[in-house]
A and B are shown apart, each in its own frame.
Chain A
Amino acid sequence: MDGFPILSLMMAVPMAGAIACLFAGANSARWIALIATLVDLLLGIMLWANFDQAGTAAQWQFQEYAPIFGRFAWALGIDGIALMLIVLTVFLMPICIGASWQAIQKRVGEYMAAFLFMEVLMIGVFTAQDIYLFYVMFEAGLIPMYLIIGIWGGADRIYASYKFFLYTLLGSVLMLIAMMWMVHEAGTTEIPALMAYNFAPGAQTWLFLAFFASFAVKMPMWPVHTWLPDAHVQAPTAGSVILAGVLLKMGGYGFIRFSLPMFPEASAQLAWLVWGLSMVAVVYTSLVALVQSDMKKLIAYSSVAHMAIVTVGLFAFNQAGIEGAMMVMLGHGLVSGALFLCVGVIYDRLHTREISRYGGLSINMPKYAVLFLLFTMASVGLPGTSNFVGEFLSLMGIYQASSWVALVCTTGIILGAAYMLYLYRRIAYGEQVNADAAAMPDLSMREIALLAPIAAAVLWMGVYPESFLAPMRSDIRALEARLAPAAPAGDSHIKMGASKPAGGATHEEASAHGEAH
């Protein structure tokens, strides 16, 4: 693999596909898009297989460098964190194309081109090693998403597309100014070098806030989350999947890649801000989700709550918290994507997102009910599913930093169970009051083919999370070491129990366990 520009190739394939789609007819555009995304999935699997995850391996792998843009360079490279997010992206993309196969009937070529271009940019965000290249990729994602929501979205699509675009643009531009300042200060545009540079603590606060403006909107954190429900509700199904599955993760990735390692002091100083907003988000948006009558809105609000678990995990400043945050991001990417697909399945049949228009679907759509139940449980965080691992680690991490935050955020799990189970009850159980809903056919082969891989991945992640944690472990350890000098002292004061002289080794371990819990 040495020297082979696999990352550039992963961006070139969908780009070529996008251009071809623009000139192709409807049906051939669908096939071109599917093939391009599947090729990229294969490349992604090769990337994972060839990624050296030994503790001694170089942090940055598959690096490419071409100084062709004057002030900045085409510099690519990934660590384990980026690798996992790239794998998530290439895994979800063919599913998105499949989900749009019949739902999108007008201007198919342009639609597929927008999606493939989106994939190029998402991979670009996660691979960029030059801070300006990162910004270009990060910001350019607005164009295809604006078009996807605006052209193929629902009734209120125009308002939603403006809101999405302007909200995220305003968040990002201040980050650009901060980036310029950093580059002038540090004299380099390379992200790895900037991650090691120590900015003056006074400046860090401003820089942190500028980056925070961008990532908090993207994430999204309360109170700047209001664009998300609108965008989700109006976007076509596949648009929602990619928005929830990957675009929101750009915010979390930004925190992990920029805010935490570049401004450790400011991160520690302003951790209260992040904690506070996250606590509000967990409780408030969960309660809001509880009263929604629109399925997509409900899942959108649940995304905000889940993303708040990510931010508390990240700002726990320890290995467990950050690993947990990454696992929640990956798990949420799969689960919320799958939930939006599930909504899409019944929306395609009845063309309404009103929860009350459905009911008793487990009678006429048993396969659907089973898969929907699995994803509902995963969203709740049932042990054995992907989200449990992440949420557990995140909360464990934040408990070490602040037990109050942990206490409040844990209520999110309970509230999450409440709104998800309530949703499931209203859709799948009970009497079949609506005749048209009762007459809907069960999942088609295509729909099963879309949901089954996600179900498998959710279970894999829940049962054997080590496959996903192993590539990231040494990177997260490096990040923790970087944060260690600044990390705030926790309030829980965990002490190892004193070993009793009479006790054996097993007793000692058990007592230590008991204390830590």
Chain B
Amino acid sequence: MIESASLLAVAPELVLTVGGLVLMLIAAWGGEASSRFVNWLAVLTLAIAGLALSTSLANGPVAFDGLVRADAFSAFAKGMIYAAAAAAILLAPRYFQADGKERPEYPVLILFSAVGMGMMVSAGDLLTLYVGLEMQSLAAYVLASFMRQDARSSEAGLKYFVLGSLASGILLYGAALLYGFTGTTAFDGIAVAMGDGVSNGELFGMVFLLAGLAFKMSAVPFHMWTPDVYEGAPTPVTTFFGSAPKVAAMALAVRVAIEALGPAGLDWQQIVIFVALASIILGAVAAIGQSNIKRLMAYSSINNVGFALIGLAAGTPAGVAATMSYMAIYVVMTIGAFACILQMRDAQGRPVETIASLAGLSQSRKGLAAAFAIFMFSMAGIPPLFGFWAKFLVFDAAVAADLTALAAFGIAASVIGAFYYLKIIKTIYFDEPAAAYEAKGGMVENVILTACAVVIVFGYLLNPALDAVSAAAAASLF
């Protein structure tokens, strides 16, 4: 017998599921002509799901006997996910229009992916975790190969699928080991079982589980798929991959680490520290030689995941709050940066992706160049832009947790990363102009771009709110 409270606690997922199914029917009957309409309805569905978060919170924090958590942490993560998904839907039409391939399935797939991500961040049990993860991933595989006539897109989808399945297998193996050695799949049960010391079997299970999660958030050494998939997937899909699923994977990893593996903190801390530093350094160094902006953003995302993990390495409430704040600021920067990248179109309106084509942009498209520069400086972590605050929070948490050496290494490595962001700004501002881009950006793109830029520039005024929300989210895990 399912209680109504449990159903209300998953209200956002219900809204998205029903919305997604209805829209799929509309898409099936309406055909390509309906895509504009489906787009807006999908955004509306995401907005309603966002509103339903309050219902979900009111009926939380535990639903379906612990299978699902509807707490402040999941609400915060879902808020970010829905916003990022909506942005990915809104940014898409102009891109697909250029090839005459605008299809209503795109928003529907994003909705289904959002359901999966919602389940991931709400998971209170290894089974919910796995189901959520697979649901998100299946939609993502299709999205990556959305331009099915395009060889690069198909290749990206296939690569993502093969490597993603491998990672799912590893993760499932870890889950099985944990179940075998602790006798339960519930997070709190695992924590209780690990409370009396971590056995070898539990340790192996934990390592496999974390490896699978590292794959999903594209952390080193499980990052290899990222550059190819980011480059091959259609740009709006890359926007999506760079934002919402990252938040979901990161939030899931945080929840698993704190709620399920809490007693093994010292064990996973080493892993997280290694993964974090490796991601920061590899993401920074490998990005330097890139000539394709989407590939560069892939390495940039690897780099950013490394920084976010430093907050998790601290393992304290402040650290978790910092990681979640990092993701919030990162999502805004990423969407803003991709809104810029989506405007990189030559005079005929075809998308271009080379960094060289940005040369001298500041002389033909002043506003776009300024926005690009804002996002790049922000990602490099230069104050007074908001990206600095994201880094500040994670390093501050690390210092507070006596991980000063980690913080010092991480921040010194961030200087390497600054170099390739500077390179883009150099191309835009210092170089002689290349062939000009299309003279005007789309309205929706410009609105999203401006909104993100405003947040990045004036973000510090949001600090009290961000602090309060992220602290509440972190508190619900401890």
Contact = CB atoms under 8 A, between A and B. Distances in A.
Given A166-B418, A173-B412, A174-B408, A136 B384 contact: yes
B466 interface: yes
A135 interface: yes
Interface string B455-478: 000001101101100000000000
Interface in A276-301: none
A275 B429 CA distance: 41
Interface stretch (B162-170, B233-241, B399-407): B399-407
B64 interface: no
A147 interface: yes
Contacts of B460: 68-70
B467 A70 contact: yes
B412 A161 contact: no
Given A70-B464, A140-B384, A170-B415, A176 B395 contact: yes
B395 A180 contact: yes
A39 interface: no
Contacts of B425: 146
A12 interface: no
Interface string A167-192: 00110011011001100100000000
Contact of B399 (A69, A139, A142, A184): A184
B388 A136 contact: yes
B181 to A, nearest CB: 38
Nearest to B418: A169
Contact of B400 (A146, A157, A184): A184
Given A69-B463, A135-B383, A165 B407 contact: no
A158 B383 contact: no
A181 B382 contact: no
Interface in A119-158: 132, 135-137, 139-140, 142-143, 146-147, 150-151, 157-158
A160 to B, nearest CB: 11
Contacts of A176: 392, 395, 411
Interface in A240-276: none
**Main secondary structure on chain A at its contact with chain B?**
helix
A162 interface: yes
B383 A150 contact: no
Contacts of B384: 136-137, 140
B429 A151 contact: yes
A162 B377 CA distance: 13
A23 to B, nearest CB: 10
Contacts of B408: 174, 177
B422 A68 contact: no
Interface centre among A71, A139, A166 (most CB of B within 10 A): A71
A70 B426 contact: no
Contacts of A142: 382
Contacts of B429: 147, 150-151
Contact of A71 (B404, B418, B463): B463
Interface in B363-419: 363, 377, 382-384, 388, 392, 395-396, 399-400, 404, 407-408, 411-412, 414-415, 418-419
B399 to A, nearest CB: 4
Nearest to A138: B383
Nearest to B413: A173
A180 B415 contact: no
A140 B383 contact: yes
A69 B463 CA distance: 5
Given A136-B388, A151-B429, A69 B461 contact: yes
Q: Which 8 A-B pairs have the closest CB atoms?
A: A70-B463, A136-B383, A180-B399, A173-B411, A70-B464, A150-B430, A170-B415, A69-B460
25 contacts: A68-B464, A69-B461, A69-B463, A70-B460, A70-B464, A71-B463, A107-B362, A110-B362, A135-B383, A136-B383, A139-B382, A140-B382, A140-B383, A142-B382, A146-B422, A162-B426, A166-B418, A169-B418, A174-B408, A174-B411, A176-B395, A177-B395, A177-B399, A177-B407, A180-B396
Given A70-B466, A180-B399, A180-B407, 16 more contacts: A68-B461, A71-B396, A132-B392, A135-B383, A136-B383, A143-B377, A147-B429, A150-B426, A162-B422, A165-B418, A170-B415, A173-B415, A174-B408, A177-B399, A181-B404, A184-B400
Interface of B: 362-363, 377, 382-384, 388, 392, 395-396, 399-400, 404, 407-408, 411-412, 414-415, 418-419, 422, 425-426, 429-430, 460-461, 463-464, 466-467
Interface of A: 68-71, 107, 110, 132, 135-137, 139-140, 142-143, 146-147, 150-151, 157-158, 161-162, 165-166, 169-170, 173-174, 176-177, 180-181, 184
